[in-house]
Amino acid sequence: MQQAWITKGGPPDVFELRETSAPVPDAGEVLIDVEAIGVNFADLLMRRGVYAAAPDLPAVPGYEAAGTVRTVGDDVERLAKGDAVMALVSVGGYATQLAVPARQAWKRPEGMSAEEGAAWPVNYLTAFEAMVVMGSLRRPDELGGQPTRVLVHGAAGGVGTAAAQIGQIYDAELFGTASPWKHDFAREQGYDHLIDYRTDDFVEVVQNLTDGRGVDLVLDPIGGRHWKRSLDVLAPTGRLCVFGMADAVSGPLSALKMLFRTPWWRFTPPYLMTRSVGVFGYFLGATMPLADETRDWFEVLLRRYDEGALQPHIHETFPLA
């Protein structure tokens, strides 16, 4: 089998394709012949050497994949040889074969391609857990008829696309920030209001659109001073979800600058209390051990896929080699 290794932090040419022996699934695991691998922002951060949750380099990136079950280990009941599956991987997904815990693999619905399956677990679980499980997104009929107002930064990205589709299921009013050439795509996914973050102050735009009230939930993967602005746009009882640090992508120096620029006092209980707002962090790796809950959440999402409400978008594909 083959694996794509990151030999050191840097540009794409730090990847090295290596041959190795195929893994043998332990009890409770399945061996998957990989047909497609998801490429996520975490992989980019790992390649740049600025992802704190990644293993030390050299290492194999990759957090989700799709393919066909080749063999199953002992004590595996839900999956069998030949099943078309998608899987969450703790790390190491850039490979032609993977041994993963069966609890982190799911049968792909009929009609879902391997490419779609590889674009599904990280993005849709992240959006669902951040918005519904932790963000308390509810339908208008549960909130006196008022829709939940949600602002998503990076509206045209993988999580942003999933968030728009999930938000529509809950009849949320969706605000998104994105580069202007991505607005048409983001609007097709369900955003009601798109903001060009390069030229417009999103706080001012949102306040104008909401008559000064603000939004009920913000998903912010940027970090640093951006978190302050996201806090500023929250309505009373609103919540800010921080789930990434895109400001750190340039390298270790950028990460240090981002941490230095973060207005930490805004995250203290006294300040949050005076605003009646909340802040929570989200990291998919921390919720993966919640096997039963994750399976339940995943099944909810798959039912919505079967109904046609959720559809992953494939921007581009690349060969592993």
Residue with more model confidence, 143 or 105 = 105
Give the model's pLDDT for residue 207.
98
Look up residue 87 and give its two tokens.
Answer: 């899987």
Give the model's pLDDT for residue 244.
80
Band (pLDDT 50/70/90 cuts) for residue 45 is confident
Instruction: Provide mean pLDDT across the span 209-229.
Output: 93
pLDDT tens-place string over residues 76-96? 999 999 999 999 999 999 999
Give the model's pLDDT for residue 28.
97
Give the model's pLDDT for residue 260.
64
Q: Report how far apart, in Å, the C-alpha atoms of 174 and of each of 129, 218, 281 are.
A: 17, 10, 21
Q: Lowest mean pLDDT: which of 133-137, 233-237, 245-249, 293-297?
A: 245-249
Band (pLDDT 50/70/90 cuts) for residue 173 is very high
Give the model's pLDDT for residue 299.
95
Give the model's pLDDT for residue 267.
82
The model carries a pTM of: 0.93
Delineate the domains of the chain, giving CATH numbers in brackets: 2-119 (3.90.180.10), 135-281 (3.40.50.720)
Q: What is the mean pLDDT of the chain?
A: 93
Band (pLDDT 50/70/90 cuts) for residue 249 is low
Beta partners for residue 151, in sequence order? 175, 218
Q: Please give the share of the chain, as a percent, with pLDDT higher than 70.
A: 94
d(CA 297, CA 272): 29
Q: Are 232 and 247 in contact (CB under 8 A)?
A: no
CB atoms within 10 A of CB 121: 28
Residue 263 has pLDDT above 80, yes or no: no
Q: Are 100 and 255 in contact (CB under 8 A)?
A: no
Instruction: Provide mean pLDDT across the span 39-43.
Output: 91
Band (pLDDT 50/70/90 cuts) for residue 205 is very high
DSSP string, 112-160: --HHHHHTSHHHHHHHHIIIIITT----GGGTTTPPPEEEEESTTSHHH
pLDDT tens-place string over residues 151-165? 999 999 999 999 999
Give the model's pLDDT for residue 257.
65
Give the model's pLDDT for residue 202.
98
121 upstream amide cis, omega within 30 of 0: no
d(CA 164, CA 161): 5
